[in-house]
Chains A and B, each alone.
Chain A
Amino acid sequence: MALFSNTATLLGKELRTEFRSRELLTTTSVFILIVLVLFSFATNPGTEEARQFAPGLLWLAILFASSLMFQSCFLREQANDTLSSLRLAVSDPFAIFLAKLIANTLFLLLTEALMLPFFAIFYNITLWAELPILSLVLFLGSVGIAVAGTAISAISAQARMRELLLPLLLLPLLTPVLVVSATVTGSLLDRDPVVQWKGIAFLGVFDLVFLTALWIFGQYFLEE
Chain B
Amino acid sequence: MTKRILLGVVATALLIIAAYANFYVAPNERTMGVIQRIFYFHAATAWAGEMVFFVCFLANLLYVWKREQKYDWLGVTCAEVGLACITIVLITGPIWAKPVWGIYWTWDARLTSTFVLWLLYVSYLLLRTLIEEPSRRALLSALFGIFAFLDVPLVFFSIRWWRTQHPAPVIMGGQGSGLDPTMQKVFFFNVLVMHVFCVFLIVERYILEKLRNDVDLLQREAEAQ
Contacts and interface: CB of A to CB of B under 8 A. Distances in A.
A108 B180 CA distance: 54
A198 interface: yes
Interface residues of B, number: 29
Contacts of B127: 155, 159, 165, 169
Given A159-B127, A199-B162, A176 B150 contact: no
Interface stretch (A114-122, A125-133, A135-143, A215-223): A215-223
Majority secondary structure of chain A interface residues (helix, strand, loop or mixed): helix
Contacts of B4: none
A213 B150 contact: yes
Majority secondary structure of chain B interface residues (helix, strand, loop or mixed): helix
- Greatest chain A CB density within 10 A among B136, B144, B146 is at B144
Nearest to B158: A176
B148 interface: yes
Contacts of A199: 162
Contact of A198 (B120, B159, B161): B161
A64 interface: no
Interface stretch (A69-77, A95-103, A202-210): A202-210
A158 interface: yes
A179 B158 contact: yes
Contacts of A161: 130
Contact of A175 (B123, B146, B155): B155
Interface in A167-208: 168-169, 172-173, 175-176, 179-180, 183, 198-199, 202, 205-206
B143 A168 contact: no
A172 B143 contact: no
Interface of B: 64, 112, 116, 119-120, 123, 126-127, 130-132, 136, 139-140, 143-144, 146-148, 150-151, 154-155, 157-159, 161-163
| Nearest 5 pairs of A and B residues by beta carbon | A176-B158, A159-B130, A176-B154, A172-B119, A183-B162
Interface of A: 148, 151-152, 155, 158-161, 165, 168-169, 172-173, 175-176, 179-180, 183, 198-199, 202, 205-206, 209-210, 213, 217, 220-221, 223
Given A158-B131, A158-B140, A159-B140, 5 more contacts: A172-B119, A175-B151, A176-B158, A210-B150, A217-B143
